[in-house]
Amino acid sequence: MDLRERIKALLNSDQIGISDTTLRDAHQSLWATRMPNQMALGAFPVIDDIGFFSLEVWGGATFDTALRFLGEDPWENLDRLKSKAINTPLQMLLRGQNGVGYSKIPNDVLFSFIKESHNSGIDIFRIFDAMNDIRNLENPIRFVREVGGHSQVCASYTESPFHTASYYINFVEHLVENDLLNPESVNESFCIKDMAG
CA distance 197 to 193: 9
Task: Give residue 2's pLDDT.
Answer: 86
Task: Give residue 135's pLDDT.
Answer: 96
Task: Give residue 144's pLDDT.
Answer: 98
Burial of 127 (0-12, 13-18, 19+ CB in 10 A): buried
CB 89 within 8 A of CB 123: yes
| pLDDT, tens only, 71-124 | 999 999 999 999 999 999 999 999 999 999 999 999 999 999 999 999 999 999
Phi, psi (5° rounding) for residue 112? -60, -40
- Identity of the amino acid at 97: Q
